[in-house]
Chains A and B, each alone.
Chain A
Amino acid sequence: MIKDLFRKRYHTLPVSETEGKEPEVPAGLWRKCNKCGKAIYTEDVIRNHYICPKCHGYFRVHAYRRVESLADTGTFTEWDRELPFSNPLSFPGYEKKWKDVQARTSLNEAVVTGTAEIQGYKTVLGVMDARFFMGSMGHNVGEKITRAVERATKEHLPVILFTCSGGARMQEGIISLMQMTKTSAALKRHSDAGLLSVIVLTDPTTGGVTASFAMLGDIILAEPNALIGFAGPRVIEQTIRQKLPAGFQRAEFQVEHGFVDAIVKREDMKETLGRILALHQTGKKPISDVNGVSSEDSYADRQDNGGASAWDRVQISRMAERPTGLDYIQELFTDFMELHGDRCFKDDGAVVGGIARFHGLPVTVIAQQKGKNTRDNIVRNFGMPSPDGYRKALRLMKEAEKFGRPVICFVDTPGAFCGLEAEERGQGEAIARNLFELSGLGVPVLSIVIGEGGSGGALAMATANEVWMLENAIYSILSPEGFASILWKDAARAADAAGVMKITAADLLKLGVIEAVIREETPASLETLPVLCQDMDVRIRRFLQTYGSMSRKELADHRYERFRAF
């Protein structure tokens, strides 16, 4: 090694001859990320929404910092800042600890509540803070949240609550447990008044908070990777003596299992909440006020059969190039915000739904979604909904009813999913429940069959005031293959079956099963989509003008009579 051969014959200045202070890293300049363990520059973290710039892990945010990041400048007014100390069990040492935590955190309790404007929309806002007894809910937390929700009900305001809590506060025992019902009941009254509640689950949200107000929002959002669950993972592992899988109880797990509508990154949170508030503004114009149809707006009213046979149309309706539900949603609507989950078991990829705007009017849109390729189809299950898909659709329809939004469905399914899990979770019940509930829904419902309308699986999303079909769509009691196999014991005679089943749009129009056929000059494709949607756009406006002026009862009666006639 040449290093050992170098000779050092030069002299360096002694330290004493130099002036100035020694270098040192001031306290707090760097901090260690508790997720990746790397050193990070504190100012970077603050500028980056309290997200680690290296591993992108989320740090917990102090309640007042959170309020600052959400509320329009100067619009936040805090409510019930100080409540007297509550110690229902006279728990020894509690008061001293409570005061110590107060002094350390400059917080009065584990939640901050008040009113604020977010992107100009007034709302009630509650934010929990993990530094205060792990955000646990005792009397004061329950009381502050309940008062905030009650006041929101009284003042007709939406409620947004950011949860961050280990659960009930142990020091207050059974009185903490009572807060769960107290807060839930307040939200019930708020909801019954037709008002919006949005919950944002942040890391961690567990125990009695999860089992009460945290799961009761009309819309439930979560921050990425937040721990969300009832029993904590450690308790579960100790009880069942098994190692839990990676990702268990994280926000992404909860979306997959149907309990969270969407994961929202911190940098997008304010904008997302602003959009949700905008979509739920009360005092909006009546539905029938949607952009009127004028004499210039026209659509092809010919129902030209074009010579294609029923079997041709079956095959066209199944073509992989055919636009899917999401293609129509993107083309016809703006501001689409997808909401996930059935709040029971799963988020079904075969059904997509959410809120969007149609000519500015908030509407609920739901579509059966086929994949564009094999990988996509694994997520979409080839457009065959599971019970969870129908339950998600019903949940979104009920929300639409609560907020007076018309429902527009796109039907495109070979049929409801046929499988073990589907039966275990009640496929029949799920379809039946949709027919039952949809028949009485108090808002206009429109269904458009864009591809395959496979049996009960289609009907569960076509119990509408009007049903339309694209010219090359089909709608039937079951597939022609199934029909041939049952009646003639030969699935190969599907083409013959198609010929006699009356499954084309033209046939069904004659039978009165549908109200309109939307002409396809050439089989629908992404290229012809804009033209098809122009046609649909005019028709939908006309539909909304007609049905938008009906009362809830008139709409339900109309739907009742529509199906009563068969």
Chain B
Amino acid sequence: MFHKILIANRGEIAVRIIRACREMGIATVAVYSEADKDSLHAMLADEAICIGPAPSSDSYLNMESILSATVATKADAIHPGFGFLSENSKFVTLCQKCNITFIGPPADVMDRMGNKSEARNTMVAAGVPVVPGTKDPIHDVETGKRMAEEIGYPIMIKAASGGGGKGMRIARGPEEFEANFLNAQRESVSGFSDDTMYLERYVERPRHIEFQILADTHGNVVHLGERDCSIQRRHQKLIEESPCAVLSDSLRAEMGEAAVKAAKAAGYVNAGTIEFLLDSQNRYYFIEMNTRIQVEHGVTEMVTGLDLIKEQIRIAAGEPLSFSQEDVVIRGHAIECRINAEDPSRHFMPCPGTITNLHLPGGNGVRVDSAIYSGYQIPPYYDSMIGKLIVHDIDRPSAIRKMLSALGEVIVEGVNTNVDFQFAILENENFQSGHTDTGFIEENFDD
């Protein structure tokens, strides 16, 4: 086991990792930028080292400073958290060269999964379903129509050079194909002087379903069920829950098996996430793999009773998983709300500033992961997420009620937050009845 871990991150995830280390008896080193000298993670760690000025590029992305800090403090591993250097394969290589364990997957796996087309090819080879589409460019409507039949409707027609919706059409059936194809192609020719088109199955109103997996260095891979992250605003997740309201046990088992197969095909080690789109007919397609711990890992922890950060550290230290797939039981329902310092009335503009008064909820099944405290100054340089409120109860309706109760206790004075917006989502009928997909925010709320 490691005796000291450096946490190459900030904010609530750094605090979360420090806490796990303390519980495991591992000493911690925090790194912080000049703007973060009064931050909680720097205070809680056993040692704290300043690694540069406020901009991330000079501090939390500064590999040389972080490696120097690791060597100087004789830490034997680095936990990258999420964001920053967590998916930087060059950093992983450098850690290895410096005899430091990177808590995450090896560099080559990270590279392979980071490349979208390579990841897709790996999944196709492993028999994991991907969004069906054409591999070769299409120039004429006859070939297009033939390919569309093969792929299956509805079909998304996309110009190779297109962008911003130009040269893009949806054909819901064969009768709509020719006109839409020709229109899209005409737009592409006039806009980009290119008649090259591609076809892809149009996944209608999909849910964003991701499976958490853990893989050790001994070849064991398990999945810890799914998270439904469909509540997104401009691709930023707002609410995540586990399990998904509409997934049957058999589909969960099937998708989980696919996720494990995907992780094995990638040669994956450590904690990772396999992302799928799930359409209204319960067809699912692999979209990408995240090679890091995720913001929303907490909901999985609540329903499985596992500590994912501790598992990550044990895996990195070479220990085999202490449980098998059969030991993983999903109990009850967990929901997470991301609390951001931002102003929903002004296009969700970030609101840095000083927290003048703070009260956070607690009680049975209520968890707050945060790095804020009364008097804390939120710096303007980084992400606006200031905390995560997670609740756990016996089923989804109970969890929603608990979240509504807990949200009501969140008092953050001095800066604007999105708490009221979270209330509005939770109170929405469609949300409560589980009728959600990635278009939920767009359809139910004005921006």
Contacts and interface: CB of A to CB of B under 8 A. Distances in A.
Chain A partners chain B = yes
Interface of A: 1-3, 6, 10-15, 17-18, 20-26, 29-30, 39-41
A43 B373 CA distance: 43
Interface stretch (B67-75, B130-138, B168-176, B362-370): B67-75
A10 B23 contact: yes
B44 interface: yes
Contacts of B373: 2
Contact of A6 (B44, B67, B90, B97): B44
Interface in B71-122: 71, 74-76, 90, 94, 97-100
Given A12-B46, A23-B70, A25-B71, A18 B3 contact: yes
B98 A26 contact: yes
B376 to A, nearest CB: 9
Contacts of B23: 10
A20 B76 contact: yes
A364 B295 CA distance: 63
Q: Which 9 A-B pairs have the closest CB atoms?
A: A18-B3, A3-B43, A39-B64, A12-B27, A23-B100, A10-B22, A13-B25, A23-B99, A23-B71
A24 B98 contact: yes
A68 to B, nearest CB: 24
A13 B26 contact: yes
Contact of A18 (B70, B71, B76): B76
14 contacts: A2-B43, A2-B373, A3-B43, A12-B3, A13-B26, A15-B74, A21-B99, A22-B76, A22-B99, A23-B75, A25-B68, A29-B97, A29-B98, A40-B64
Nearest to B64: A39
B43 A15 contact: no
Contacts of B63: 41
Nearest to B67: A25
Contacts of A39: 64
B3 A22 contact: no
Nearest to B95: A23
Contacts of B348: none
Contact of B1 (A13, A25, A29): A13
Contacts of A30: 64
A41 B71 contact: no
Nearest to B73: A23
B71 A24 contact: yes
B2 interface: yes
Contacts of A3: 43
A24 B99 contact: yes
Contact of B25 (A1, A10, A20, A25): A10
B2 A12 contact: no
Query: Do most interface residues of chain A lie in helix, strand or loop, or is the interface mixed?
Result: loop
Most A Cβ at <10 Å: residue of B3, B26, B27, B71:
B3
Interface string B268-286: 0000000000000000000
Nearest to B58: A38
Contacts of A14: 3
A53 to B, nearest CB: 11
B336 to A, nearest CB: 26
Contacts of B27: 12-13
Contacts of A1: 38, 43
Nearest to B38: A1
Given A22-B99, A25-B68, 5 more contacts: A13-B26, A23-B100, A24-B99, A25-B98, A40-B64
Interface in B21-36: 22-23, 25-27
Contacts of A23: 70-71, 74-76, 98-100
Contacts of B38: 1
A18 B313 CA distance: 14
A190 B2 CA distance: 69
Contacts of A17: 1, 3
Contacts of A20: 76, 99
Nearest to A12: B27
A134 B23 CA distance: 60
A10 B25 CA distance: 7
A29 B38 CA distance: 33
Contacts of B44: 6
A58 to B, nearest CB: 21
Contacts of B76: 18, 20, 22-23
A565 B402 CA distance: 104
Nearest to A40: B64
B25 A18 contact: no
B1 to A, nearest CB: 7
A101 B4 CA distance: 46
A40 to B, nearest CB: 8
Contacts of B71: 23-25
Nearest to B93: A43
Nearest to B65: A39
Given A23-B99, A41-B94, A13 B3 contact: yes
Nearest to A14: B3
Contact of B74 (A6, A22, A25): A22
